Amino acid sequence: MTATSAELRSDLHEQFARIGKAVASPRRIELLELLCQGERSVDALARATGMTVTNVSQHLQELSAARLVARRRDGTRIYYRAADDTVCSFVTELGAVARERLPEVERLAAEHIDDSTKMEPLTRSELLRRLGRGDTVVVDVRPMEEYASGHIAGAISIPLDELGRRLRELPKTKLIVAYCRGPFCVLAPQALALLRRRGFRTRRLEDGLPEWRAAGLPIASGS
Amino acid sequence: MTATSAELRSDLHEQFARIGKAVASPRRIELLELLCQGERSVDALARATGMTVTNVSQHLQELSAARLVARRRDGTRIYYRAADDTVCSFVTELGAVARERLPEVERLAAEHIDDSTKMEPLTRSELLRRLGRGDTVVVDVRPMEEYASGHIAGAISIPLDELGRRLRELPKTKLIVAYCRGPFCVLAPQALALLRRRGFRTRRLEDGLPEWRAAGLPIASGS
DNA sequence: CTGTTATTCCATCAACTACTGGAATATAGT
DNA sequence: ACTATATTCCAGTAGTTGATGGAATAACAG
């Protein structure tokens, strides 16, 4: 009885470790984070990460063996995506644990996103309240495809590259709230810095889309 | 700017992967789960897992390097514990993802805990409601030390080994709810099987203590 | 100071992992 | 059928990890 239950435990832990091994590589974590923003082909991933196609493919095989990603063929290319929401909230929590436990993480973030500390972020519940009142514009500054594959309900898409050209779309009378991929994403801080220089009232949303989704808040998709 | 932000991303992912690597080994996951039930000395862990002391020590060094565990010296022995609650909820979620994504996990559980499927578990919120009414007895069937280092507020401790001798402490008029370490722990199912043979009305609590704690529900500690 | 117990350090070996470049496969277009 | 593109498969190599046994360290009890 104890023999078989010890056996069960060890078999079970071996299975758990398959998931752990999948997220034991910085490359695979990067891939997973990208895939949580929307589906991508192998070479789109290679371009986005600077890895060789072969290498990306190999990492995707391993993620696939751990069933963390799913694929879909369309003509000559194959699109990968995160297998489901629990996977994305898991990698999000992985980042949260790293942030909580490893002082290096805060330090790195502080070094590179210098002004992130100056402005304190708007909480998700606060944004939700404001959305009802209509005195707030929410801007998704990620690339357009990521917006298309899922965004905060009511947000408009202005990718960071286009922001300079599209300032007139934003009202000076309302509060502009920007968000992007997560707490360490540099897009929203850069967007807000630009907007503030032009005299807009701005706030950053705390964290990013994955956390909004994990909290079960309303998502829309399509352009 | 893009250069330095790519650099940030890769440094960050390297840090995240430190956490991933820590949970990439079945042994280390087993150790973490034990440590989430309460602090233990190195050789207590070695005895509980069947590993050599040297090996346990080495794994603990790695967990410690990822700052997932903390230690405390008491005389000649050193007690390790999970560094904080987020660590425990992270390993709990690791298990949940494995269960969700890897069919082998359900299969293993079904094979070994044969009757677990027959009785559907009591939800946490249901138990909470019943606790207010006083028609329910909650029994923690884990070893005494684990009960002492944290248990559901209002639960009594009857370790599985002692259950046969202590049946008279339980009323036949109330519902007996047992719990243990988690969804794959065999202690509670065995306890309930015994109790049902003796004519008690029983239910199993869904999951176990780590999940109760992660849900922010009331915990007590001490004997 | 000596012996005992608990833990960590160190060296070693086998097993595994990450990346690379080149070959093979699959789909679509001509 | 032929070509181009996207992806995967296959070897080879360098580097890393996991387990083991023996030596070193640290705290304590006599």
Q: Which residues of B touch A66 (CB under 8 A)?
A: 101-102
Instruction: Give me the A residues in range 7-66 that sit within 7 A (CB) of strand C.
Output: 21, 24-25, 27-28, 51-52, 54-55, 58-59, 62
Would the pLDDT of B1 be above 50? no
Determine the Cα angle at B130 with ends B124 and B133, to 5°.
155
Residue B105 · residue B99 · CB < 8 Å: yes
> Once rounded to an integer, what is the mean pLDDT over residues B68-72?
97
Alpha helices in chain B (DSSP H): 2-22, 26-36, 42-49, 53-65, 85-101, 103-112, 124-133, 144-148, 160-163, 187-197, 209-214
Is residue A36 among the annotated active site residues?
no
Query: Residue B114's pLDDT is what?
Result: 67
Query: Distance (Å, rounded) from C-alpha A59 to C-alpha B223?
Result: 49
Out of A12, A19, A24, the one facing B97 most closely (by C-beta) is: A19
| Model confidence band, residue B142 (pLDDT cutoffs 50, 70, 90) | very high
Orientation angle between helical segments A2-22 and B103-112, nearest 10 degrees: 170
Q: B43-65, pLDDT tens digit by residue?
A: 999 999 999 999 999 999 999 99
Nearest residue: Cα versus C1' of C16: A21
In the block, tokens 């990460």 appear at A49
> For residue A116, what pLDDT is reported?
53
Please name the amino acid found at residue A87: V
pLDDT of residue B116 exceeding 70: no
Measured between alpha carbons, how far is B138 from B203 in angstroms, rounded to an integer?
10
State mean pLDDT over B94-111.
93
Distance CA A167 to C1' C1 in A: 82
Q: Which residues does A43 contact at the CB level (< 8 Å), separation at least 6?
A: A53, A56, A77
Is there contact between B59 and strand D, defined as CB under 7 Å from any strand atom?
A: yes
Does the C-beta of B140 come within 7 A of strand D? no
**Token pair of B78 as six digits:** 């050193």
- Number of A:B CB contacts under 8 A? 154
B24 touches strand D (CB under 7 A): yes
| DSSP-derived pairing of the beta strands A136-140 and A156-157 | parallel
Shortest Cα–Cα distance, B41 to chain A (Å): 20
Q: Cβ of A12 and B109 within 8 Å?
A: yes
Q: What are the tens digits of pLDDT across the range B2-18?
A: 457 778 889 999 999 99
Span CA (A37) to C1' (D11), Å: 35
pLDDT in tens, chain A (223 residues): 445 777 888 999 999 999 999 999 999 999 999 999 999 999 999 999 999 999 999 999 999 999 999 999 999 999 999 999 999 999 999 999 999 999 999 999 888 876 655 678 999 999 999 998 989 999 999 999 999 999 999 999 999 999 999 999 999 999 999 999 999 999 999 999 999 999 999 999 999 999 999 999 999 998 7
Nucleotide with smallest C1' distance to residue A74 CA: C27
Give the residue-averaged pLDDT of B98-105.
Answer: 95
* Average pLDDT, rounded, for chain B: 92
Question: Of the candidates A98, A78, A113, A116, which has an alpha carbon nearest to the alpha carbon of residue A33?
Answer: A98
Which residue type does B181 have?
R
What per-residue confidence (pLDDT) applies to A118? 65
* SS3 (DSSP) at A182: coil
Residues of B in contact with A101 (CB under 8 A): 19, 66-68, 83-84, 86-87
A202 Cβ contact list (under 8 Å, min separation 6): A119, A175, A176, A177, A178, A192, A195, A196
What's the confidence (pLDDT) of residue A34?
Answer: 96
Q: B167-207: per-residue pLDDT in tens?
A: 999 999 999 999 999 999 999 999 999 999 999 999 999 99
Contact A101 B19 (CB under 8 A): yes
Q: How far apart are CA A110 and CA A104, in angstroms?
A: 10
Instruction: Name the one residue in this structure whose structure tokens are 């239910």.
Output: B203
Question: What letter represents residue B218's amino acid?
Answer: P
- Determine, for residues B102 and A6 on separate chains, whether the beta-carbon distance falls below 8 Å: no
